């Protein structure tokens, strides 16, 4: 079991694209990089590189990656090896490295879908056609749409400083429909209120 959680040397977005282009599954860049790809330039340093894919395609993804990489499950604050052929029924977070002593190279986030809908794991009533949750750069790199990525950031139990800064940087770039969807989703997850919904509402009054 590894405990060097900050030992990162993330591969680039271009390297991720080269790696995943040969894997016949749906995937997208996620995290802070997804937001930067949306606006077209890098806004801050990224400590890792995140990729999302669907749970029902994990066998294809993980078996292909395991040919060249070590795969660790991140659960309950601990990292443990994924056993060969192991099906991950509840795991949402995977860390990947070349060998036992090498830095972490990228992070995989497993998301769920039911029939034709992506399902938000923290509030399963929040859904969307899974074909409408990613966009593409001019180079053809798929990334998670910004309103979804901000929902994952804002919907966390603790909003980190970088998540707050990402929200403040990206919000002015969102069009009305994207802002509305994000606000509605946050209100659904947090009926008692969420600080970001008030900020979004204030933009509509300008």
> How does residue 1 score in pLDDT terms, banded at 50, 70 and 90?
confident
pLDDT digits (tens, 9 = 90+) for 152-171: 999 998 999 999 999 999 99
Q: Which of 128, 115, 139, 99 is nearest to 149 (CA)?
A: 128
Average pLDDT, rounded, for the chain:
96
Structural tokens at position 184 = 């509605």
Determine the pLDDT at residue 38.
98
Structural tokens at position 136 = 């593409």
Q: Are 30 and 52 in contact (CB under 8 A)?
A: yes
Determine the pLDDT at residue 105.
99
Residue with tokens 């069009």: 175
User: Does residue 34 have a pLDDT over 50?
Assistant: yes
Domains of the chain: 13-145 (3.30.460.40)
User: Does residue 120 have a pLDDT over 50?
Assistant: yes
Percent of the chain with pLDDT over 70: 99
Phi, psi for 148 (deg, rounded to 5)? -70, -45
Determine the pLDDT at residue 101.
93
C-alpha distance from residue 75 to each of 12, 55, 64, 70 (Å): 25, 16, 22, 16
> How does residue 203 score in pLDDT terms, banded at 50, 70 and 90?
confident
CA 167 from chain centre, in angstroms, equals 15
Determine the pLDDT at residue 202.
87
User: Does residue 206 have a pLDDT over 80?
Assistant: no
Q: Are 35 and 76 in contact (CB under 8 A)?
A: no
Average pLDDT over residues 99-124: 98
Determine the pLDDT at residue 205.
54
């Amino acid at each position: 079991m590894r405990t060097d959680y900050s030992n990162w040397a993330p591969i680039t977005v271009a390297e991720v694209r080269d790696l995943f282009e040969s894997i016949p599954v749906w995937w997208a860049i996620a995290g802070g990089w997804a937001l930067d790809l949306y606006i077209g330039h890098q806004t801050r340093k990224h400590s890792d590189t995140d990729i999302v894919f669907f749970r029902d395609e994990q066998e294809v993804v993980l078996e292909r990656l395991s040919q060249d990489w070590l795969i660790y499950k991140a659960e309950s604050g601990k990292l443990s090896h994924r056993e060969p052929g192991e099906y991950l029924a509840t795991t949402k977070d995977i860390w990947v490295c070349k060998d036992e002593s090498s830095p972490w190279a990228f992070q995989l986030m497993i998301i769920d879908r039911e029939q034709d809908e992506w399902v938000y794991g923290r509030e399963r009533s929040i859904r969307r056609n899974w074909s409408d949750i990613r966009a593409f750069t001019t180079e053809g790199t798929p990334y998670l749409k910004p309103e979804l990525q901000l929902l994952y950031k804002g919907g966390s139990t603790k909003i980190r400083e970088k998540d707050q800064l990402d929200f403040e940087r990206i919000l002015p770039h969102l069009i009305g429909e994207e802002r509305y969807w994000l606000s509605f989703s946050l209100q659904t997850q947090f009926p008692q209120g969420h600080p970001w919904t008030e900020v979004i509402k204030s933009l509509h009054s300008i």
